[in-house]
Amino acid sequence: MAAVPQSRSDKLLQPEVLASLSNLELIARAAVNGFLVGLHRSPFFGFSQEFAEYRPYTEGDDPRFIDWNVYSRTDRTYIKRFLGETNSHLMILLDASASMAFAGEGKLSKFRYGQILAASLAYLAAHQHDAVGTLIFSDDVREFRPPSSRSGQLQAILHMIDHATAERHTNLSAPFSRFRDQIRRRGMVAVISDFYCDPQTMLDAVRPLAFQGQDVILFHLLDPQELDPRFSESTLLEDMETGQTVEVSPQEMSEQYPLRMQAHIQSMREAATRAGADYVLLNTSESLEVPLRNYFLFRQKRR
């Protein structure tokens, strides 16, 4: 059977292609546009951004969606609403701890993949007329911007994401506690992390969000070399957050490591289920179509 050629949009969503573009806003626009092209072609999605109705303008609405033709005729200000639009918001929590800086040979780092994914989700949310905000964390909150749909919000978020760096260690407790204190309105929460933590710690951090009424999706980022390491000789491995080192043999990596990694992934998946969150495991060599499709399905379920 002949291989099915990739479409132009499929190729555009490959992480190495996106990373070759000049800036994060261009990358996010290219990723989302490529995804939406594929979505419109898919028979499995009822995607629509067709006009649905008007509603009166209220303070805080994005003035870009004011229909000035209606205003000129009625002297009243109305907002255009579209099919697929919600009054929801999306908060993106991006892990910027030191372990996220890991990159296998010739690959994007987990952090750069996470930045591209975070920027693409923000761009897609804005495209869907959702308010969007961002929290960047490691052992504490590093940057925070509450959700908004005001003009300039997307550019501010993309600038924040693009200028973040991966450093310090991971501590979910403080950042997630700060999030709960700052964001009381119900909405969607996307957490992007390599989740190098105890599954119970993740559960304790995420479950209160579900109790608060938030809909949470966890994007678990791992490098191909973390998922399937290949060493031909004994290797000294260093923890990027603590600096601790351990020497491992090829036999250990081929026999014991895969079992431990799969056990960790399964524990994270089960903890996510107990926390009431969606869980998506991502290989950072995969197309951005994978997480964007999962987010779109996640959003559709909660409309």
Separation of alpha carbons 268 and 33, rounded Å: 32
Average pLDDT over residues 215-240: 81
**Model confidence at 157: pLDDT above 50:** yes
Compute and round to an integer the Cα radius of gyration of the chain.
Answer: 21
pLDDT in tens, 59-76: 766 676 777 776 776 777
Longest CA–CA separation in the chain, Å: 77
Total number of residues shown for the chain: 303
- DSSP, collapsed to helix, strand or coil, labels residue 177 as helix
* Tokens of residue 84, six digits: 């697929």
User: What domains can be seen in the chain, in order of their start residue?
Assistant: 51-82 (no CATH), 89-301 (3.40.50.410)
At position 11, the amino acid (one-letter code) is K
More confident residue, 100 or 300: 100
Q: Please, are residues 43 and 37 in contact by the beta-carbon 8 Å criterion?
A: no
Yes or no: say if 205 and 173 are a contact pair by the CB < 8 Å rule. yes
Structure confidence at residue 87 (pLDDT) = 55
Tell me the mean pLDDT in the region 135-151: 93
Q: Is residue 56's pLDDT more than 90?
A: no
Alpha-carbon gap, residue 189 to 178, rounded angstroms: 14
Q: Nearest 5°: phi and psi at 252? A: -60, -45
